[in-house]
């Protein structure tokens, strides 16, 4: 795990992988980040933000079935059919138009190597003398000297960001390519070396007397250079900044502390294989992380069950290893919190972004209180609708493999990629022509998106890039409703990045996940409104209402569930409770049952779901998907109702990291220090359950069999 994000090393808690939106509907086991079931958070040095797509579902929004594109833009309604996935192409077989424009960063691997060599020369054996020569001088350097140091630091860090971004993008398109893997590893090594060489700066600054620190922060030189808030964050973190020697030690340990996450990534992305399955007609299917979501959304119940058991069978075979890896991550969290003198892991995760602990705890309390009228009510409705599709079954039990099965019979809404991108562009019109043009160019001329799955490509979806590159979106697009929502979600991230980078200097152009998921889920809300206006039949309306329920379930309730578990295991480790496989399984099973309610069978396999969720490898991370959805729902409602000017919302996105995220949201009228935004999401979900219940009133299970006398 990289060193802590400081004024000088904006490294976030990283999990090997991409910052993706782990499947919006957050399939069982996924995280609603439309990130992938693969580890989705790789070292994110500096501003190299790898945005997750809908998260906790583990990136199950991806698939290989590209099929025949529907004719023309818009919604295509088709009779529901089962298809067989085609063999995946190798990366070299993918047409250029289906790939992202990574050549806009470096035109060739040789150009990447040349920049790597230039930075290696500049580092002079990893010492970075243009920076380390200032060590011991900051107390007497004055504002001009501190500004000069910061300027030099960010000039170098920008180049490393670009190097890292290119390296991880190339690696993620073919994780089995040793040449790309080695190049990515060299970029990461440069990052770690730079982090170690500059780890002394924060310590030296926080050692300044209060009066001198205040004078420095308020000086005209600092104000003119735009470093005021940057320094303010360093000084307010005094109690948690170690001596120069302590910071150097933690920086040197960075790679070692990230070993568990790296090992999980290798196991999850490359080494785990899953048994092939057969569907109800005897057809054989492969199971991969990329196509698992497709199996779970199949109308063939035998296929769903087989895929579910194949997946968890593989994870179960490695449960001891996976428990040790997750335990290593949690112990790292505890170590870092104690080393930095935080009261708890929870405080260490929230304090750097100025987020009160009450935001986390009130989210969980509000959701748990609402479960009987939200998730439990939804599970009962799902049971009725699935039973109605199985009239020969007198007693129907809902299992975890049924939680993403289609509820509306005989209809699917499909989008070709071209239709999807056209609909996404149309949907953002309420945010103004400039924003819409940014999205349009990204989807067309500028090739932001790497569209489809190929052999050994990272699963899931994410948005990435850095201050000096265009945004990049990894997709594994499949032509269904989930595919278009994932695309809208990731474009929300990428447009956010484009606006922030255009408006802010490099020190503020990155932004926390706490605010990141606002932009992505806001754009999903716009797409939902566009699709609702497009459909014409009750069956299509039912599908869209159910899809919206799945989105809220995946992004809000599921993330709260995972945050509940994540807090529980970190608190257990703080209390010195061993995180054995048995403890992890029983804790997860108990919390999962609390959230889903009594109408779903407690399948044994679900107790292993913790083992496959990459976001647990980032410290108390997933709650931010739920808080972001709550914020974006309020913002979208106000913009669409004309109560908030679009530019006032876009100001939140342009704000980047220039102020704390809770302050940015409060400026737009959303206060996450109250329970109101969370209660509003619960109320909306309950209302949608009632709407779907009414729309499907004609779909009833068979009457109970009369007892014979």
Q: Which of 588, 644, 590 is nearest to 616 (CA)?
A: 588
Please state, in angstroms and as integers, the Cα–Cα distance from residue 72 to each residue in 76, 231, 421, 429, 447, following that order: 9, 53, 12, 20, 21
Give, in order, the Cα–Cα distances in Å from 484 to each of 150, 414, 699, 704.
Answer: 42, 9, 28, 40
Angle at Cα 349 formed by Cα 649 and Cα 6, nearest 5°?
A: 80
Closest CA to 67 of 294, 354, 268: 294
- CB atoms < 10 A from the CB of 684, how many? 18
Element (H or E) spanning 583, and its range?
Answer: helix 581-596
Which of 286, 453, 490, 609 is an active site residue?
A: 490
Instruction: Name the residue with tokens 């569209």.
Output: 451
Three-state DSSP state, 33: strand
Distance CA 633, CA 638 (A): 9
- CA-based nearest residue to 446, from 387, 415, 485, 491: 491
- For 31, the 3-state DSSP assignment is strand
User: Over the range 105-122, which residues count as b (16 or more CB within 10 Å of their CB) and which as e?
Assistant: bbeeeeebeebbeebeee
Greatest alpha-carbon span in the chain: 98
Cα(252)–Cα(244) distance, rounded to whole angstroms?
12
For residue 515, count other CB atoms closer than 10 A to its CB: 26
Decide if 368 contacts 610 (C-beta within 8 A). no
DSSP for 306-339, please give it.
HHHHHHHHHHHTTHHHHHHHHHHHHHHHHHHHHH
The answer to whether 513 and 627 are in contact (CB under 8 A) is: no
Residues 6+ apart with CB under 8 A from 313: 274, 275, 605
**40, 8 contact by CB (below 8 A):** no
- CA-CA distance, 237 to 352, in Å (whole number)? 7
Residue carrying structure tokens 């969370």: 678
Q: Alpha-carbon distance 691 to 270, whole Å?
A: 43
Those residues whose C-beta lies under 8 Å from the C-beta of residue 229, and which sit 6 or more positions away, are: 508, 658, 659
Upper half-sphere CA count for residue 412 (Cβ side, 13 Å): 21
Q: What is the Cα–Cα distance from 385 to 408, expressed in whole angstroms? A: 8
Please tell me the distance from the alpha carbon of residue 601 to that of residue 107, in angstroms, as a whole number: 54
Residue whose C-alpha is closest to residue 177's, from 169, 235, 312: 169
* Residue from 95, 97, 116, 94 nearest 105 by CA: 116
490 tagged catalytic: yes
**HEC profile of 3-72:** CCCCCCCCCECCCCCCCCECCCCCCCCCEEEECCCCCCCCCECCCCCCEEEEEECCCCCCCCCCCCCCCC
Query: What is the distance between the alpha carbons of residues 202 and 7, in angstroms, rounded to a whole number?
Result: 7
- Residues noted as catalytic: 490
């Amino acid at each position: 795990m990289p060193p802590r994000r400081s004024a000088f090393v904006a490294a976030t808690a990283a999990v090997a992988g991409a910052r993706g939106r782990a499947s919006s509907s957050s399939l069982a086991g996924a995280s609603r980040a439309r990130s992938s079931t693969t580890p989705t958070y790789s070292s994110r040095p500096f501003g190299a933000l790898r945005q997750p797509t809908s998260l906790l579902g583990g990136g199950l929004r991806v698939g290989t079935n590209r099929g025949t594109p529907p004719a023309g833009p818009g919604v295509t309604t088709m009779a529901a059919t089962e298809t067989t996935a085609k063999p995946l192409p190798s990366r070299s077989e993918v047409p250029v138009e289906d790939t992202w424009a990574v050549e806009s960063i470096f035109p060739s691997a040789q150009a990447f190597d040349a920049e790597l060599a230039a930075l290696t020369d500049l580092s002079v054996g990893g010492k970075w003398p243009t920076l380390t020569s200032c060590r011991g001088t900051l107390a007497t350097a004055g504002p001009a000297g501190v500004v000069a140091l910061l300027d030099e630091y960010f000039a170098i860090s920008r180049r490393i960001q670009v190097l890292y971004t290119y390296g991880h993008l190339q690696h993620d398109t073919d994780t089995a390519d040793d040449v790309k893997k080695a190049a990515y590893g060299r970029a990461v090594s440069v990052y770690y070396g730079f982090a170690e060489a500059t780890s002394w700066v924060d310590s030296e600054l926080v050692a300044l007397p209060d009066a001198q620190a205040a004078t420095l922060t308020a000086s005209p030189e600092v104000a003119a250079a735009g470093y005021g808030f940057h320094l303010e964050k360093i000084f307010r973190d005094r109690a948690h900044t170690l001596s120069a020697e302590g910071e150097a030690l933690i920086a040197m340990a960075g790679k070692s502390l990230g070993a568990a996450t790296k090992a999980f990534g290798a196991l999850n992305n490359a080494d785990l294989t899953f048994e092939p399955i057969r569907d109800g007609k005897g057809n054989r299917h492969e199971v991969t992380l990329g196509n698992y979501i497709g199996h779970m959304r199949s109308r063939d119940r035998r296929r769903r069950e087989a895929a579910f058991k194949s997946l968890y069978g593989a994870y179960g075979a490695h449960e001891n290893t996976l428990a040790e890896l997750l335990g290593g991550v949690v112990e790292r969290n505890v170590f870092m919190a104690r080393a930095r003198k935080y009261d708890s892991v929870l405080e260490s995760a929230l304090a750097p972004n100025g987020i009160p602990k009450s935001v986390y705890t009130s989210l969980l309390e509000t959701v748990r209180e609402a479960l009987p009228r939200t998730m439990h009510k939804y599970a009962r409705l799902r049971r009725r609708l699935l039973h109605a599709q199985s009239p020969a079954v007198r007693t129907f039990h809902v299992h975890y493999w049924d939680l993403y099965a289609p509820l509306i019979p005989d209809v699917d809404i499909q989008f070709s990629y071209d239709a999807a991108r056209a609909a996404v562009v149309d949907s953002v019109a309420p945010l103004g022509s400039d924003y819409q043009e940014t999205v349009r160019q990204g989807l067309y001329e500028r090739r932001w998106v790497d569209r489809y799955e190929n052999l050994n490509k990272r699963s899931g979806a994410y948005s990435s890039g850095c201050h000096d590159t265009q945004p990049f979106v990894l997709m594994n697009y499949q032509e269904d409703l989930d595919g278009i929502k994932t695309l809208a979600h990731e474009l929300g991230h990428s447009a956010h990045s484009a606006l922030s980078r255009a408006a802010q200097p490099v020190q503020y152009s990155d932004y926390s996940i706490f605010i990141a998921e606002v932009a992505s889920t806001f754009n999903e809300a716009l797409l939902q409104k566009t699709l609702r206006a497009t459909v014409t039949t009750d069956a299509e309306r039912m599908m869209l209402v159910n899809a919206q329920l799945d989105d809220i379930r995946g992004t809000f309730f599921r993330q709260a569930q995972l945050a509940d578990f994540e807090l529980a295991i970190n608190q257990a480790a703080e209390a010195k409770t061993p995180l054995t496989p048995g403890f992890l399984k029983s804790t997860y099973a108990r919390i999962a049952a609390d959230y889903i309610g009594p109408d779903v069978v407690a399948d044994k396999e679900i107790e292993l779901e913790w083992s496959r969720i990459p976001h647990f490898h980032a410290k108390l991370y997933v709650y931010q998907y739920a808080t972001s959805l709550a914020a974006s729902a309020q913002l979208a409602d106000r913009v669409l109702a004309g109560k908030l000017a679009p530019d006032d919302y876009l100001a939140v996105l342009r704000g980047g990291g220039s102020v704390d995220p809770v302050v940015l949201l409060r400026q737009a009228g959303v206060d996450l220090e109250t329970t109101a935004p969370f209660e509003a999401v619960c109320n909306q979900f309950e209302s949608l359950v009632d709407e779907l219940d009414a729309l499907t009133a004609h779909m009833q299970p068979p009457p109970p069999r009369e007892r014979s006398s």
